[in-house]
Amino acid sequence: MPEGELIYLVGKITVGQDKYASGHYTQIDLLNTEISPCTGKPVRQMLLWNMNVGDPMILAKYVDQVVVVGGTINCPVAGIQFSPDPQRVVPVY
């Protein structure tokens, strides 16, 4: 997974609370383990945050659904974030 480039991830959208950020937020539970470009360690779950949208529940309408979502990986001071593009989300049935 490259940092800062458009990639597509497949996973289930879930709601997290106080683990990766304060309060409630959406996260993606990946179907396959990936190696984080931020830490070099395996990652199976990522916080979803797009600073252009500014909504911690950015993909709330897809909660409990498996989706293919396009966006970019960001490496904040700690951990990993995925910045999804809400226009690049396709539910997988």
What are 60-84's pLDDT values in tens digits? 999 999 999 999 998 877 778 899 9
Count CA atoms within 13 Å of residue 38 on its CB side. 14
| CA–CA distance, 86 with 93 (Å, rounded to integer) | 18
pTM (two decimals): 0.85
Residue 16 has pLDDT above 90, yes or no: no
| CA–CA distance, 84 with 86 (Å, rounded to integer) | 6
What are 18-50's pLDDT values in tens digits? 676 767 889 999 999 999 998 899 999 998 887
Q: What is the pLDDT of residue 79?
A: 79
Q: Provide the residue type at 9 as one letter.
A: L
| CA–CA distance, 86 with 69 (Å, rounded to integer) | 8
Residue 86 has pLDDT above 70, yes or no: yes
Q: Provide the residue type at 35 as one letter.
A: I
